[in-house]
Amino acid sequence: MKLEDLKLEIRNVPDFPTKGIMFRDLTTMLKNAASLQLMSRELAALYRDKGITKVVGIESRGFIGGSILAYELGCGFVPARKPGKLPSVTVKKSYAKEYGIDTIELHSDAISSDDVVLIHDDLLATGGTMAACCELVKSMNPEKIYVNFIVELESLHGRDTLPDDIEVTSLLKY
């Protein structure tokens, strides 16, 4: 199996969550053991030599690949969550989405200045959530930040919303 073969495992769901949207459902890829293993190996290979100390996974699908990356890279995992889901003191960032305002939070002690952080989410569409998460992580002054996605929808230009000083990678592009 080759990396591009993973696209064959991703289900396309027309008009979800609203009419005109082609939703890329990665759960069909994740349930296939060979696909999950290939995705995991390929993601980890991108970052083995980067000195990553923490992986931030964005709620909720970013928890899947983010946890795998943290395990494979031998580093910690930090969940980026919706408001009210983290039990201790948090820092937060609100941002505009296509259909309203949303907020993302991290524990205030999750990232330190000596951390090299990889922020992971499953899919890059318009980039609003990741841009907000990047700002939030940057406010905690880590040594370096990387950003990663399993899938990128290039026609939506979400990469353009992300900071120029952060390396962004995607395994698969549509």
Contacts (Cβ under 8 Å, ≥6 apart) of 68? 39, 40, 43, 44
Strand 90-97 and strand 100-107: the pairing is antiparallel
Q: How many CA atoms lie within 13 A of 145 on its CB side?
A: 24
CA terminus-to-terminus distance, the chain: 19
Active site residue 48: no
Of the residues 42, 72, 81, 98, only one is catalytic, namely 98
Residues 110, 144: contact at Cβ < 8 Å? no
Of the residues 42, 61, 72, 167, only one is catalytic, namely 61
Name the CA dihedral angle for 153, 1, 69, 148, rounded to a multiple of 10 degrees: -20
Phi-psi region of 100 (alpha: psi -120 to 50; beta: other; left: phi over 0): left
Active site residue 159: no
Catalytically annotated residues: 61, 98
